[in-house]
């Protein structure tokens, strides 16, 4: 689960249902990256890469996305397009 105490975004608030949705999308996304064998999912990179993905999912949600599958797919696409392993 994303540690919401460590990720601070100005002027952002979500209702509890959306927070659960974002958390689930994040966990699904991270699991997909880990099972892909991408070297950026290794422990030495994991903390930074998890934060990058969390920020991407939150950014999408700020722009109105509320579909868990779309959030996860978009975050994976962003990750693979911008962070080559």
- Which pLDDT tens digit goes with each residue over 35-80? 988 898 999 999 999 999 999 999 999 999 999 999 999 999 998 8
| Residue/partner pairs of 63-69 with CB below 8 Å, 24 or more apart | 66/18, 66/21, 68/21, 68/24, 68/25, 68/28
Q: Which pLDDT score is estimated for 10? A: 60
Q: Which tops the pLDDT comparison, 11 or 48?
A: 48
Reported pTM: 0.82
Whether residue 5 has pLDDT greater than 90: no
């Amino acid at each position: 689960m994303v540690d919401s105490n460590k990720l601070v975004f100005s002027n952002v608030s979500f209702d509890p249902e959306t927070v659960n949705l974002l958390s689930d999308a994040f966990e699904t996304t991270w699991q997909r990256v880990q099972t892909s064998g991408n070297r950026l999912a290794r422990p030495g990179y994991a903390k930074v890469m998890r934060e990058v993905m969390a920020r991407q999912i939150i950014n999408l949600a700020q722009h109105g996305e509320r579909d868990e599958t779309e959030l996860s797919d978009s975050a994976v696409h962003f990750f693979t397009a911008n962070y080559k392993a």
